[in-house]
Amino acid sequence: MLYGTQDALADAPHSRPWSELFSGPVRLQAIDGGHFYLQSNRDAVLEVVGGELRALLASPIPSGGGAAGHAGPIHACPISSLTT
């Protein structure tokens, strides 16, 4: 789960309770920036997301699970847009 290092509204302590909404493990990852770090630090965000996707794609798929049933390290929250 990503959060901005200078975001007073959603810093690490405020972000941790979101992990209760997920069934798997959640790892907090700080990105330099404030509440709109997705726009101001897009390259860092894409690097983290890309790294997670590469790790997920490199991991074996559990038998009988198929791609849709794969339980990997990524747990998503809705993001309006990374490109705006």
Residues 16-22 have a mean pLDDT of 82
The confidence band for 72, taking pLDDT boundaries of 50, 70 and 90, is low
What's the pTM value of the predicted model, to 2 decimals? 0.60
Q: What is the mean pLDDT of residues 67-80?
A: 50
Token pair of 29 as six digits: 């990852």
Higher pLDDT: 35 or 61? It is: 35
Sign of CA dihedral 24, 30, 31, 36: positive
Q: What is the pLDDT of residues 22-44, one digit of tens each?
A: 888 888 889 999 999 989 999 99
Place of tokens 């997301």: 49
36 DSSP 8-state letter? T
Is it the case that residue 7 has pLDDT exceeding 80? yes
54 has pLDDT over 90: yes
